[in-house]
Structure 1
Amino acid sequence: MDGRSRELRVSLWYPAAKTKGTAAPYVTPQESALILKGFPQLKDLPPDTLTKTKTKTYARADAPALPNKGGWPLVVMSPGMTMPRATLTSLAEEFASRGYVVAGIEHTYESVATTFPDGRTVTFEAGAGGQTPTTPAKPITKPFMMIGNPRQQPVTSGAPRSWDLFWPHVTGRLETLAHRHRCRARELRRLRRARSAARHAGVPDQR
């Protein structure tokens, strides 16, 4: 950004020992106000609606990490354009509760609001002064999972979409939250059918 170093914020969620510590904040008051400002349909909500006094999280700040011989698998989570890393909180907490360390990255100047430890809050500036990427990213060589709708909504102007310009080599099956819920529902139905069949056959339930 105009020759300045780009500072990044990263939040970590991890398996932890049970504690009564302070709940981790969702977003700062400045971030809450700017996030809500971007949604006209939420204009009647108080600007501090997303702060820790009004929005609950289940993670605890600085909770003692649960030791695990060999460590824990790492999941890196990256929010979409304009969205802060906090919007991945529920998913990150779910992963952490199942034995993963999760790193949520804040894309400074691409997020609608990023607050730093010294109190500064910077806003969305991507695209200003020709900063929008125009060349494709390097091909992905590591396993990854995409959650959401990478193809975006149709552009009425007919202009190329940023996804197609920047990630043309990412093809194949893309995971969506709806798909995950359908898979989970199918698996639960399969397990219920198997248990029902076992009971009728006189086999004890192994749950």
Structure 2
Amino acid sequence: MTEQLRLYTYWRSSAAYRVRIGLNLKDLRYETVPVHLLRDGGEQHTPHFRDASPQGLVPVLKHGNRMLRQSVAILEYLDETWPAPPLLPATSRDRQRVRAIAQAVACDVHPLNNLRVMRYFEHTWHVPQPERDEWVRHWIVDGFRAIESMLNDHPSTGRYCDGDTPTIADCCLIPQVYNARRFGVAVEGFPTIARIEQACLALPAFDNARPERQPDCPAPQ
């Protein structure tokens, strides 16, 4: 019997979005525990949540009594604990490529435009909103140019980032595409990324993980 899974998440967190996709692809039931990153200065800074995440970051996945942190590490944990369907390819060469694409998002693009960076720009350096938004767009476009090159015309690229089965690379890429659209990046300028996004979002596992489908997503005004 699977021990209870509890995901500490925020509806618009792209890192949490990655893990929601992975859980859905594995068809794993989990309880959602919203952590509002903006309310009252951010619930991630409360002592209670810091016990779960010393970095004060979402997501955290609680599996039984274990607290699992860092989205890509959580995805690999899911794949090792519940191997079917796999989130990594069968060969070491293809696994390396999938991890490289995932890390291009998770290590190189996302950290430059996450909430902590934007708040530091706003509250410490008093950078105006238009300049902050341009910073975000610049680094997303820079990263997407590289990722598009990694995907375009590569023999391992199929319907998804690697072949015809979603992998950890897709789990990381699709939330970053959501962020790109949110900040006005013309994703259609990256045709392979845009095509893979459409293929992924046609799957219930990706569609149900969308930010607007989460229970803590604010009602439209």
Q: TM-score, normalised by structure 1?
A: 0.33
Task: Flag the structure with more relative contact order, 1 or 2, with Cα contacts below 8 A and sequence separation at least 6.
Answer: 2
Compare CA radii of gyration and give the structure with the larger one: 1
